[in-house]
Structure 1
């Protein structure tokens, strides 16, 4: 084997298309762009959503709905979850740091205690919001609710 006999593998190297180099090349004339029209011109770029002059979809479909930017999103935690946490940890005070430490909320969430299930232990719960059923269940068990 000699350096002058080295060749690339069969089919690994392709010759590039020499476009617009005369009719003898087979790619002269229109240079693979077809005939006339905007797409054959240099500098052509189509606007996104353009449908050839037809009314585009985003203008055909009417506006719909409403987004309330004052809406406050709460992460809901039910009483049955508090009951199981109280049984596992023997904790008497549930606050935001406790919920965060146990992976129930992330640092920017707001917490709302919801009324699914029952709570039997007297616990103190600190949260941003409470449902009426949650407040009555917690107080009936001898606990306390504190709004943040």
Structure 2
């Protein structure tokens, strides 16, 4: 049986506007519309799309899992309305200063490994796009090709790096 190829995406600074710290409420959660077209293209090229994100603000008490759920629902609904299906959102709600070290928080690769197993991903044909070095470390640990972008940079500018 043929395995899936996938593009995993960090959230803040990749799919929604980077605020420099945590996005703590729904009013500040601004989806980067310039990524609709390139993500639709990746989907049309057969790539499964999934989100891998650290959300340590939950551990810090800066926002609740309920608020985070509303942000993620908006993200999924907005992309779906633009013809883009995001298969799932994996998030780590821990923060080392509050919960100690965990295995899921990037630069750890556990979230990626779980998603890759769940969706039967061919690691040799898959990528991780992020705007932080910890995204690249996590992707490399999971065997993925990492693509580092600047925060809020259009994904269309790096499409040529994806086969």
How would you bin the TM-score normalised by the shorter chain? under 0.3
TM-score w.r.t. the length of structure 1 is 0.27
Q: Which has the higher contact order (CA 8 A, sep 6+)?
A: 2
- Computing the radius of gyration from Cα coordinates, the structure with the larger value is 1
TM-score w.r.t. the length of structure 2 is 0.25
